[in-house]
Amino acid sequence: MKRLSILVLIFGAILFAGCNSAKRAAKQGEKRFINGEYEFAIERYTAALQKGTKKPDVANFKIAEAYRLSNRIKMAEPFYAKALELGTLEENAHFYQIFALKANGKYPEAKDQIMKYGPNKNFKNTMYKSWAKDELDNLAELDSIIAKQNYYQLTNVDFINTPGAEYGPISYEGDQLVFTSARAQGPIYAANGQGFTDLYKIKFDDETRKSGSVTMFLEKYNIPNVHEGAITISPDGKMIVFARGNDGSKKGATEVNLFYSVFSKGDWTEPQMLPISDQRAWDSSPAFSNDGKSLYFASNREGGRGGIDLWRATVDKNGRFKSPKNMGKVINTKGDEMFPYVSDDGKLYFSSDGHPGLGGLDLFAATSKGGEVKIENLGVPMNSTSDDFGIVFINEFSGYVSSNREGGKGDDDIYFFENKIPNRKTATYSVKATTVRGDNEEILSGVNIKVADNNNKMVAEVVTGEDGEFTFPVEIGKNYVITAEKEKFFTKRDLYTTAGKAKAQEDLPEMVNKIVLDYVVALDEIVENKAIVLDNIYYDLNKSDIREDAALELDKLVTLLQDNPGISIELSSHTDNRGDDKYNQILSQKRAEAAVAYLITNGIDQARVTAKGYGETRPIMENAEAEEDHQKNRRTEFKVTEYKK
């Protein structure tokens, strides 16, 4: 009897220890979950289940949520199912099981889940009710999406991909791709158990693009234990915008922001946060428009339609970003819209899990005609039940996409695609340009023209005749530098891009087409002692330091002086009429001297430039009161003081 009592006590102690162990594991799991450390939360909740937790419904639900919140909703499905079987009352389990089933290609089961909880209005969350109805409508379009005929072929780019994530490629300098990767060995990101992502580039060995060497993109962009990714480069190649954030903590996970860097003085500047980035929100996947006048990006900031939306910010002539605007209900849904990209034929490509699709993120194309925007799912094989996103074209019919579909090397992979559409129309492009005077647009003849492509290869070298015209062949998706020279005129150097100028297949009238693009090159006459205002030259209050935005404009003046070695200039600075006269005079002189010092530092002969501060003595706007008038008076100018032919 005594032995039996001892055995009971031992068994009870073991059971009590097991209960305590399960409780401790669940508590640790909850702490990890709250901190956004989802990989470790899954590990601890799994341990709690193995140790016999008294709340298996909670543990299964938390594991499912951890998988969903770390972008692995496919893996969440059995855990949502088990939590529901065990009677969980969590609405998230009922709702997100719909998307988990869909991501695993279980469309009938997803429809049953919606029919059970959506139309019967069992969801207390009104957004869930509305979203469930949208998903029911989306599922009704599945057959037509799957049956859609297209001629895309996809190939895994296995010499780029690793077991870690690779995604978001963009074209760079013609023969390279820049992309995001978690290939580096190092600290683990607690949200998904992978390494932190950095920016890399691959330089292809030849035109076949079937081999190449991968190296880190720029060291200054990649900092330890922080994610960098989703990058875009302006059409003129002078500005880079990319996403940075996520140190692995819950706080970091909500602070993905857009950073920018500009090419100045022969190097890229240290990245700074873009002023339009919302530090309270997730901002990522930026993309410049083909003309560089708009920046598209994805954000979950306030003012959206739910989830992550696409936003658009315009860029003014001085490179300043205006307040972003939401792209509206035709593009954005209650789900997530991400990874925008504008192709050469003007289509906006993006990924979404809110528009009718196969599961996860699908690739879509938005076209606008006659004020009406049409959204098209790209179909199979471009899309799968997994996440398909981050498209980029290298020509009209081929490019790269990112996907975590089955059969890859691990997580997100980069795939090459080609649209092998039969009987496809072709087009060759050329530019017919005209040289004119900048002041009155009169035809200007006798202008020496040189046109070079991305690789500094000479495309054309002519002298314009009486009609001022010259023509040169171009390829879509490339940049060209047009240099125009004529005596008594400033040498002009224009960047001409063919990005965004391709005609869509449906807009080509013939099987073989010749497209002529028009362009105007305006030259300004050199007039001694005529003031020319430099845009975007600003100084901090009561300071004369050259800011980065001012440096960009001064770089243009450096180029102008290099292109026109026969001129000498006076560079002058002006203030508004607020403040002490003497102080303004001294301040303006210091600012002018700082600007001149910048020019000299960048290789301009000191004998060719003179600094002059005029204080408030030469206002453009007399009796200024409005701030915009004061701004016009606060300016930096230059004038030609000597011209040697």
Specify whether the CB–CB gap between 33 and 62 falls below 8 A.
yes
pLDDT in tens, 21-38: 888 888 898 999 998 889
Q: Give Cα separations from 230 to 53, 170, 279, 286 (angstroms).
A: 41, 9, 17, 7
Q: Are strands 398-403 and 388-393 parallel, antiparallel or unpaired?
A: antiparallel
How far is the CA of 639 from the CAs of 312, 550, 619, in angstroms?
38, 18, 16
Q: What residues contact residue 85 under an 8 Å CB cut-off, 6+ apart?
A: none
Residue matched to tokens 């919302």: 278
Angle of CA points 281, 269, 602, to nearest 5°: 155
Report pLDDT for 577. Answer: 82
- Band of the pLDDT at 13, cuts 50, 70, 90? very low
Distance between CA atoms of residues 329 and 375, nearest Å: 12
Q: How many Cβ atoms sit within 10 Å of the Cβ of residue 369?
A: 10
3 state SS of 385: coil
Q: How many other β-carbons are positioned within 10 Å of the β-carbon of residue 619?
A: 19
Percent of the chain with pLDDT over 70: 93
Q: What integer pLDDT is reported at residue 306 of this predicted model?
A: 81
The per-residue pLDDT for 543 is: 67
Tens of pLDDT, residues 104-163:
999 999 999 888 875 555 777 788 888 888 888 999 999 999 999 899 999 999 999 999
Query: Is the CB of residue 506 less than 8 Å from the CB of residue 347?
Result: no
496-526 in b/e form (b: 16+ CB < 10 A) is: bbbbbbbbeeeebeeeeeebeeeeebbbeeb
Q: Residue 266: which region, alpha, beta or left (left: phi > 0; alpha: psi -120 to 50)?
A: left
| Separation in Å, CA 497 to CA 430, 463, 490 | 12, 22, 22
Distance CA 310, CA 336 (A): 9
pLDDT of residue 432: 97
- State both tokens at 137: 């409508």
**Is residue 498 a contact partner of residue 429, using CB atoms and an 8 Å limit?**
yes
**Residue 168 CB neighbours (<10 A):** 31
> Alpha helices of 118-249 — where are they, by DSSP H?
126-139, 142-147
Segment (H or E) for 56:
helix 56-69
Write out the DSSP string of 203-214.
Answer: EESSTT-S-EEE
Check whether 89 has a pLDDT greater than 90.
Answer: no
Dump pLDDT digits (tens) for 571-610: 998 888 887 889 889 988 998 998 899 999 888 999 999 9
Its pTM stands at 0.79
The mean-pLDDT minimum among 481-485, 515-519, 640-644 falls in: 640-644
- Tell me the CB-side half-sphere exposure of residue 358, using CA atoms within 13 A: 24
Average pLDDT, the chain: 87
pLDDT digits (tens, 9 = 90+) for 292-330: 889 999 999 999 888 899 999 998 776 788 999 999 999
The C-alpha atoms of residue 23 and residue 637 are separated, in whole angstroms, by 73
In this prediction, residue 539 carries a pLDDT of 64
Strand, helix or coil for residue 160: coil
- According to DSSP, residue 357 is labeled -
Long-range contacts of 268-274 (CB under 8 A, 24+ apart): 268/218, 268/220, 268/240, 269/548, 270/220, 271/220, 271/221, 271/242, 271/244, 272/548, 274/241, 274/321
| Residue whose structure tokens are 């889940």 | 113
pLDDT at 388: 97
Q: What would the pLDDT profile of 442-476 be if each residue is shown by its tens digit? A: 999 999 999 998 778 899 999 999 999 999 999 88
Q: Which of 91-105, 421-435, 498-512 has the lowest mean pLDDT?
A: 498-512
Compute the average pLDDT of residues 365-394. Answer: 92
Q: How far apart are CA 168 and CA 160, in angstroms?
A: 12
| Residue partners of 369: CB distance under 8 A and separation at least 6 | none
For residue 624, the model assigns a pLDDT of 77
Biggest alpha carbon–alpha carbon distance for the chain: 120
Q: Give the pLDDT band (50/70/90) at residue 253.
A: very low
Confidence of residue 536 (pLDDT cuts 50, 70, 90): low
Distance between CA atoms of 277 and 283, rounded to whole angstroms? 7
Q: What is the pLDDT of residue 541?
A: 59
Judged against a pLDDT cut of 50, whether residue 15 lies above it is answered with: no
Q: Distance (Å, rounded) from C-alpha 135 to C-alpha 139?
A: 6
231 - beta bridge partners? Answer: 242
Write down how long the chain is: 645
Q: Which domains does the chain have, with CATH numbers?
A: 2-146 (1.25.40.10), 147-419 (2.120.10.30), 426-523 (2.60.40.10), 532-643 (3.30.1330.60)
Residue 252 scores a pLDDT above 50: no
Contact yes or no for 385/104 (Cβ under 8 A): yes
CA atoms within 13 A on the CB side of 361: 24
Q: Which two tokens stand for residue 350?
A: 């993006």
C-alpha span between 142 and 593 (Å, rounded): 67
User: What is the three-class DSSP state of 118?
Assistant: coil
pLDDT at 17 exceeding the cut of 70 = no
Alpha helices in 410-547 (DSSP H): none
Rounded Cα distance between 586 and 592, Å, is 10
Place of tokens 């429809």: 111
